[in-house]
Amino acid sequence: MDIKIRTLERKDLDLVHQLDNERMTMAFWFEEPYESFDELVSLYDKHIHDDRERRFVVDTDGKFAGILELVDIDFIHRTTEIQIIIENTFRGKGIATISMKKGLDYAFNTLNMYKVYLYVDVDNVRGLHIYKKLGFVEEGKLRKHFFANGKYHDSYLMGIFREEVKY
Catalytic residues: 131
Q: For strand 3-7 and strand 151-161, is the pairing parallel, antiparallel, or unpaired?
A: unpaired
| Length of the chain in terms of residues written | 167
> Which residue blocks in the chain are alpha helix, DSSP H?
13-20, 23-28, 37-47, 95-109, 125-134
What's the CA gap between 67 and 87, in Å, rounded? Answer: 8
Tell me the three state secondary structure of residue 157.
Answer: strand
